Amino acid sequence: MNCLTSEPSCKLFTPGPVKIPNRVMAASSYVQYHHRTPEFSKILLDTLNGLRPLFGTDQQVYPVHTTGRGALEGVYANILSAEDKAVSICNGSFGKMSADIISKMGISCVRCFESWTDQVDLAELEQIIEREHPTAVTVVHNDTSNGTVNPIAAIGALARRYGFLLLVDAVSSIGCMPFLFDDWGVDAVVTASQKGLMSPPGVSFAVLSPCSWEKIKNNSSLASYINFINIRKSIQTTGETPGTTPVSLILAVNEAVHMITEEGVEQVFKRHRALSLATKQALLAIGLSLFPEKCDARSDSLTIASVPDCVDTNNLVEHLRKKYHILIGKGLGDYARSSIRIAHMGAYQVEDMMLCIAALEASMLDLGYVSSIGVGVDSFLQKYNSAQQC
Ligand code: PLP
């Protein structure tokens, strides 16, 4: 099959990769740059600087040549060593993923809040920290598996009180929701290109605090491929990366960052909030229930809904794809059969989400799960319009 003569079969509403704007696609392939030229270094450094407001930091943002999981592994391998102990908050599939990575590295890892319905109870977390004395706590800002948002600012306050390093997976929140690396006292954060940065997958970005750098400097078993000492040296001295830079991905992210800056970071967050509230209202009106149950723990970057027992999620997702050319995410883990996941992270606009909701309603009607349609789109619009006024 020739990719230039065939059209993609569906519009993406999956929680990564997400819809890529034409501007971003065009920028990634418009001109070929060599990665060791002054012209490309300028674009790379411009991209890293442009990302700072999304991370809420004055620190340097560093590129990591791998997807989100690889960059998280790199951060853990650079910061932690055999004598360390981590506490990992596991209230979602990606929280558990970090715990698994750290355990496999042979580092002691205490798992907590292991149920997907758990919200972080700060008093309980404080007790665990007093008992375990961890070097680091790992947590996902926005767990894409179950749509749970964890309270990073409050965990940051504990980090300052108890002196552990706070390592955050913000793969599906950067660019969608406020993240304040400096103010919240975060020590390491990672995001990836294919979510809020509305680019193809394959490159990630990390920020590290002075405390993390101190730990990395003294780590005698530093990994060789993702080695933050080398990455920092290369960025600082030549404006380049060690190894061959994924040039087209950096060009894509550069354009995405410019689009975000043009719209205004606050406006981007406001758009995500309005689309999120409206999508959630629409799914409730269709008769689905939302996850997580607690409203203030719900993500702005995706909506997760539990479907009634009578609904076969595989059928529903396949029907949406085949008949209406809309691809949404199936549930993950324990919720694979009982939930659907709809992304509104990155470039989505009101018309995109209306299309998705309308197609979802139409599919529910086609499959006999509802007897009429329109209530979802109607509720979506009402909520969207009222959210716009806030
Ligand atoms: N963390 C979160 C919250 C994610 O949503 C994902 C991917 O969906 C990852 C980590 C892993 O990132 P990647 O698939 O880019 O390796």
| Residue 286 in this model has a pLDDT that exceeds 80 | yes
User: Which atom of ligand 1 approaches the CA of 192 most closely?
Assistant: 15
Closest of 268, 282, 284 to residue 382, by C-alpha: 282
Q: How far apart are CA 302 and CA 317, in angstroms?
A: 16
User: Which atom of ligand 1 approaches the CA of 72 most closely?
Assistant: 10
What is the tens place of the pLDDT at every residue in 97-108?
999 999 999 999
Ligand 1 mean position, distance from CA 17 (Å): 10
List residues near ligand 1 (CB under 6 A): 16, 67-69, 94, 140, 143-144, 169, 171-172, 192, 201
User: Which atom of ligand 1 approaches the CA of 169 most closely?
Assistant: 1
- The predicted pLDDT at position 1 comes to 72
What confidence tier does 377 reach under pLDDT thresholds 50, 70, 90?
Answer: very high
pTM of the model: 0.97
Does residue 303 contact residue 292 with C-beta atoms inside 8 Å? no
Ligand 1 mean position, distance from CA 169 (Å): 8
What is the tens place of the pLDDT at every residue in 198-213?
999 999 999 999 999 9
Average the pLDDT over each of 130-139, 268-277, 292-301 and give the range with the smallest value.
292-301
What is the tens place of the pLDDT at every residue in 205-263?
999 999 999 999 999 877 789 999 999 999 999 999 999 999 999 999 999 999 999 99
Q: What is the mean pLDDT of residues 2-14?
A: 85
> Alpha carbon of 94 to those of 11, 21, 144, 234: distances in Å?
25, 27, 7, 30
Q: How far apart are CA 300 and CA 345, in angstroms?
A: 8
Name the residue with higher pLDDT: 2 or 269: 269
- The predicted pLDDT at position 138 comes to 98
Ligand 1 mean position, distance from CA 389 (Å): 33
User: Which atom of ligand 1 approaches the CA of 141 most closely?
Assistant: 3
Closest of 140, 193, 167 to residue 345, by C-alpha: 193
Residue type at 351 in one-letter notation: E
Pocket test for ligand 1, best of 90, 116, 145, 172 (most atoms within 8 A of CB): 172
Q: Give strand pairing partners of 63.
A: 205
Q: Which residue has the least CA distance to atom 5 on ligand 1?
A: 144
Q: Can you give the chain as a three-state secondary structure string?
A: CCCCCCCCCCEEECCCCCCCCHHHHHHHHCCCCCCCCHHHHHHHHHHHHHHHHHHCCCCCCEEECCCHHHHHHHHHHHHCCCCCEEEEECCCHHHHHHHHHHHHCCCEEEEECCCCCCCCCHHHHHHHHHHHCCCEEEEECEECCCCEECCHHHHHHHHHHHCCEEEEECCCCCCCCCCCHHHHCCCEEEEECCCCCCCCCCCEEEEECHHHHHHHHCCCCCCCCCCHHHHHHHHHHHCCCCCCCCHHHHHHHHHHHHHHHHHCHHHHHHHHHHHHHHHHHHHHHHCCEEECCCHHHECCCEEEEECCCCCCHHHHHHHHHHHHCEEEEECCHHHCCCEEEEECCCCCCHHHHHHHHHHHHHHHHHCCCCCCCCHHHHHHHHHHHHHHHC
Q: What is the mean pLDDT of residues 122-130?
A: 98
φ, ψ dihedrals at 147, nearest 5°: 70, 20
User: Which atom of ligand 1 approaches the CA of 142 most closely?
Assistant: 3
Burial (CB < 10 A; 0-12, 13-18, 19+), residue 67, is middle
Ligand 1 mean position, distance from CA 230 (Å): 24
Percent above pLDDT 90 for the chain? 90
Does residue 240 contact residue 44 with C-beta atoms inside 8 Å? yes
Percent above pLDDT 70 for the chain? 100
Pocket test for ligand 1, best of 144, 148, 195 (most atoms within 8 A of CB): 144
Mean pLDDT over each residue of the chain, to the nearest integer? 96
- The predicted pLDDT at position 68 comes to 98
Name the residue with higher pLDDT: 47 or 117: 47
Distance, C-alpha 22 to centroid of its chain: 21
| Residue 117 in this model has a pLDDT that exceeds 90 | no
Q: Which residue has the least CA distance to atom 2 on ligand 1?
A: 171
φ, ψ dihedrals at 179, nearest 5°: -135, 125
Q: How far apart are CA 134 and CA 151, in angstroms?
A: 19
Ligand 1 mean position, distance from CA 5 (Å): 31
